[in-house]
């Protein structure tokens, strides 16, 4: 996703409507049949469309903080990762999938297998991200490059503290950690996991609406509040204020753990 133009209102001028576009490099049609997207491609489409909604639904007229502009680095992925959740919702997938030959929707048995595969070893994956994030943060906060401890020593120390799999003696993984040396994530790698916390907790509001008897996660009232407090405000206020305005509290990790199969499903009937 990228923005072609942002919403703004010049002095004594009309509002410039925002425009966003998605560059979709998806599977092409084969053998005269319609294009068959993989589930990963559908997730990507929903993810990038979330960025698009964030940019296009803004009600802020100041260019620097309208849409996706001015949103903190560790919160700009909230609307995009939020949309991915619908791709793991049975009620949603059963209505939007169709077999190319039989026209039948996705079988529930196959959906359950996909969900199990998604959550396979998610705990190890989480620990891996924690090690990367802690190493990045310590490296930029209190690491002494002229001290006795090397960057690799620091990496080994953090791995031993936070992971359950010992680091091999020959490992030098910080040497290839391009995200923080060449990828723009220096002192910000934690944003990957933090944005997941925000998006999962935001989506949990829709699950709670469904649980309270409103039918499904496609609840209009919750969606309207999400649009108003998250999407429309852009970067005009701190992301934490926007989250609390929507959720009524600060974020917690419960929904993220549940969505990854690492905690009991506390929302009866939810796909997670």
Any idea of the CA torsion for 163, 169, 172, 177, to the nearest 10 degrees?
Answer: -10
pLDDT of residue 213: 78
Instruction: List C-alpha distances in Å: 110 to 36, 94, 105, 116, 263.
Output: 16, 11, 11, 10, 22
Closest CA to 190 of 141, 250, 121: 141
Structural contact between residues 195 and 78, judged by C-beta atoms closer than 8 angstroms: yes
Per-residue confidence in pLDDT tens, the chain, 272 aa: 999 999 999 988 899 999 999 999 999 999 999 999 999 999 999 999 999 999 999 999 999 999 999 999 999 999 999 999 999 999 899 999 999 999 999 999 999 999 999 999 999 999 999 999 999 999 999 999 999 999 999 999 999 999 999 999 999 999 999 999 888 899 999 999 999 999 999 999 999 999 987 678 999 999 999 999 999 999 999 999 999 999 999 999 999 999 999 987 754 444 44
What gap in Å lies between CA 121 and CA 257, rounded to an integer?
12
Instruction: List C-alpha distances in Å: 222 to 79, 164, 173, 212, 230.
Output: 14, 39, 43, 12, 12
pLDDT of residue 215: 74
Q: How is 70-99 classified by DSSP, letter by letter?
A: T--TTTTTHHHHHHHGGGG-HHHHHHH---
Considering Cα of 44, then 50, then 53, then 58, what sign does the dihedral take? negative
Domain boundaries, the chain: 1-120+194-272, 122-181
Query: What pTM was estimated for this model as a whole?
Result: 0.90
Closest CA to 271 of 201, 211, 198: 211
H-helix or E-strand containing 3?
Answer: strand 2-5
Structural contact between residues 251 and 243, judged by C-beta atoms closer than 8 angstroms: yes
pLDDT of residue 120: 94
Residue identified by tokens 């509040």 is 225
What gap in Å lies between CA 193 and CA 132, rounded to an integer?
11
What gap in Å lies between CA 187 and CA 130, rounded to an integer?
13
CATH class of 1-120+194-272: mainly alpha
Q: Phi then psi for 183, rounded to 5 degrees?
A: -120, 5
pLDDT of residue 214: 67
Q: How is 177-245 classified by DSSP, letter by letter?
A: -HHHHTSS-TTTTTHHHHHHHHHHHHHHHHHHHIIIIISSS--HHHHHHHIIIIITTTTSS-HHHHHHH
Q: Which residues are identified as catalytic?
A: 48
Structural contact between residues 71 and 194, judged by C-beta atoms closer than 8 angstroms: no
What gap in Å lies between CA 62 and CA 236, rounded to an integer?
8
Residue identified by tokens 């680091």 is 167
Structural contact between residues 43 and 84, judged by C-beta atoms closer than 8 angstroms: yes
């Amino acid at each position: 996703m990228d923005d072609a133009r942002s919403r703004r209102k010049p002095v004594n001028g009309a509002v410039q409507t925002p425009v966003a576009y998605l560059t979709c490099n998806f599977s092409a049609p084969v053998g005269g049949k319609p294009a068959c997207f993989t589930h990963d491609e559908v997730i990507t489409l929903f993810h990038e469309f979330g960025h698009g909604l964030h940019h296009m639904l803004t009600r802020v007229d100041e260019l620097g903080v309208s849409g996706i502009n001015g949103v903190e680095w560790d919160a700009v992925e909230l609307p995009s990762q939020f949309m991915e959740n619908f791709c793991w919702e049975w009620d949603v997938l059963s209505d939007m999938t169709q077999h190319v030959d039989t026209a039948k929707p996705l079988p529930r048995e196959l959906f359950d297998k996909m969900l199990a595969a998604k959550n396979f070893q998610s705990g190890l994956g989480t620990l891996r991200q924690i090690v990367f994030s802690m190493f990045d943060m310590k490296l930029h906060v209190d690491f002494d490059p002229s001290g006795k401890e090397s960057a690799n020593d620091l990496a080994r120390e953090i791995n031993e503290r936070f992971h359950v799999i010992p680091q091999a003696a020959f490992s030098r993984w910080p040497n290839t950690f391009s995200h923080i040396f060449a990828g723009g994530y220096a002192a910000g790698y934690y944003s990957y996991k933090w944005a997941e916390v925000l998006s999962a907790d935001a989506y949990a509001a829709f699950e709670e609406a469904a649980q309270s008897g409103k039918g499904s996660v496609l609840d209009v009232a919750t969606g309207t509040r999400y649009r108003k407090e998250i999407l429309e405000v852009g970067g005009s206020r701190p992301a934490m204020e926007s989250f609390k305005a929507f959720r009524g509290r600060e974020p917690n990790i419960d929904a993220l753990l549940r969505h990854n199969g690492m905690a009991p499903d506390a929302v009866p009937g939810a796909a997670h």
